[in-house]
């Protein structure tokens, strides 16, 4: 039996972007690669208990591919995944959205189904649940996720942005799983806090549209989720302040944490990175760091070798 192979690249993403809680996210120019093997009897296709980050990501990708296959009427097809990347899990960088995007796109490719992007997105969303990460993972760029007020559906808008910003990331080596950090966020908020975040999201959209980057510091200010999450991450505000004091336009907790992200002019990037490193060390944090651009592309197939699987 000759198996089919599909290779997909998919990006990391940063959700929330401060004030855009649950509705804004941006893709990063930081890709991982997934090699899917499909067939009727694929070695390594059975489910396992995973522990390492790479195995967790592989598991999410293979589960998404299987789910996509079942929706497309190919539930008897097996799948295995080889993951190539350096993405940490539970750090607010959209690893689950990345893996699930790759999985459903690979499933559509191997079945030869002419499935529209929004239909594939809907399949992945059933598994993912976080549209602010999933839209950037699928479409790239900065995406605004918009729930339909009359239905349970979603739509999205791509925000205008220029390729003249760096994304500086300090990634502490402890995880803040989104489901756990969300549990401590109050379900009810005051009108004052709601208005605060609504006005900052509007400011954020216009800051990108008009390239008024000096407004991003205020636009990223959040009162709905970051203050609560700081209780799990006491050094968070010190890191945010260190980045802005060193010259960042603005900074925020990426997704549910623990990554702190800052947007900067490329000429200021190294100073901001140095300030973040110093602050993290002062607070006793072990960490990674990374510099990226806003990613202009979502998940896509880079290679496929398809065989008749009869």
pTM for this predicted structure: 0.91
71: left (phi over 0), alpha (psi -120 to 50) or beta: alpha
Structure tokens at 275: 């300030």
pLDDT at 133: 94
Taking residue 178's Cβ as centre, other Cβ atoms within 10 Å add up to 19
| Same fold across 4-159+295-305 and 166-292 | no
pLDDT at 47: 47
Statement: residue 121 has pLDDT above 70: yes
pLDDT at 49: 43
pLDDT single digits (tens) 73-106? 888 888 999 999 999 998 999 999 999 999 999 9
Q: What is the dihedral of CA 217, 223, 226, 232, to 10 degrees?
A: 140
pLDDT single digits (tens) 190-233? 999 999 999 999 999 999 999 999 999 999 999 999 999 999 99
pLDDT confidence tier of residue 1, bands split at 50, 70 and 90 = very low
- Note the CATH architecture for domain 4-159+295-305: 2-Layer Sandwich (3.30)
Q: Where are the domains of the chain?
A: 4-159+295-305, 166-292
Distance CA 262, CA 115 (A): 36
Statement: residue 7 has pLDDT above 60: yes
Superfamily for the 166-292 domain: GHMP kinase, C-terminal domain (3.30.70.890)
- Note the maximum CA span of the chain: 63
Cβ(258)–Cβ(177) under 8 Å? Answer: no
Statement: residue 298 has pLDDT above 60: yes
pLDDT at 44: 60
pLDDT single digits (tens) 122-159? 999 999 988 999 999 999 999 999 988 877 788 999 99
Helix (H, G, I), strand (E, B) or coil at 143: strand
pLDDT at 51: 47
Cβ(234)–Cβ(214) under 8 Å? Answer: no
């Amino acid at each position: 039996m000759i198996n089919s192979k599909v290779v997909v690249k998919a990006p990391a993403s940063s959700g929330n972007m401060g004030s855009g809680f649950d509705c804004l996210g941006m893709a990063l120019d930081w890709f991982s690669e997934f090699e899917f093997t499909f067939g009727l009897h694929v070695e390594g296709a059975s489910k396992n208990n995973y522990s390492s980050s790479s195995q967790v990501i592989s598991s999410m990708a293979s589960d998404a591919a299987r789910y996509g296959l079942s929706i497309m009427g190919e539930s008897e097809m097996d799948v295995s995944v080889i993951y190539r990347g350096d993405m940490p899990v539970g750090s607010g960088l959209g690893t689950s959205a990345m893996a699930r995007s790759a999985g459903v796109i690979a499933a559509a490719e191997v079945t030869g189904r002419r499935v529209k992007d929004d239909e594939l997105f809907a399949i992945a969303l059933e598994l993912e649940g976080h549209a602010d990460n999933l839209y950037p993972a699928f479409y790239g760029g900065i995406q605004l996720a918009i729930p339909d007020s009359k239905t349970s559906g979603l739509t999205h808008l791509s925000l205008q942005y220029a390729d003249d910003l760096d994304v500086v990331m300090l990634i502490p080596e402890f995880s803040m799983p989104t489901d756990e950090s969300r549990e401590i966020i109050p379900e009810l908020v005051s009108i004052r806090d709601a208005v605060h975040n609504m006005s900052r999201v509007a400011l954020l959209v216009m800051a990108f549209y008009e390239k008024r980057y000096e407004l991003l510091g205020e636009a990223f200010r959040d009162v709905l989720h970051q203050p609560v999450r700081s209780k799990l991450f006491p050094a968070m505000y010190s890191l945010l302040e260190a980045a802005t004091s060193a010259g960042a336009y603005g900074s925020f907790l990426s997704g549910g944490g623990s990554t702190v992200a800052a947007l900067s002019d490329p000429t200021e990037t190294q100073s901001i990175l140095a300030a973040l490193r110093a602050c993290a060390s002062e607070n006793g944090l072990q960490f990674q760091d990374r510099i990226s651009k806003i990613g202009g592309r979502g998940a896509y197939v880079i290679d496929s070798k398809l065989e008749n699987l009869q």
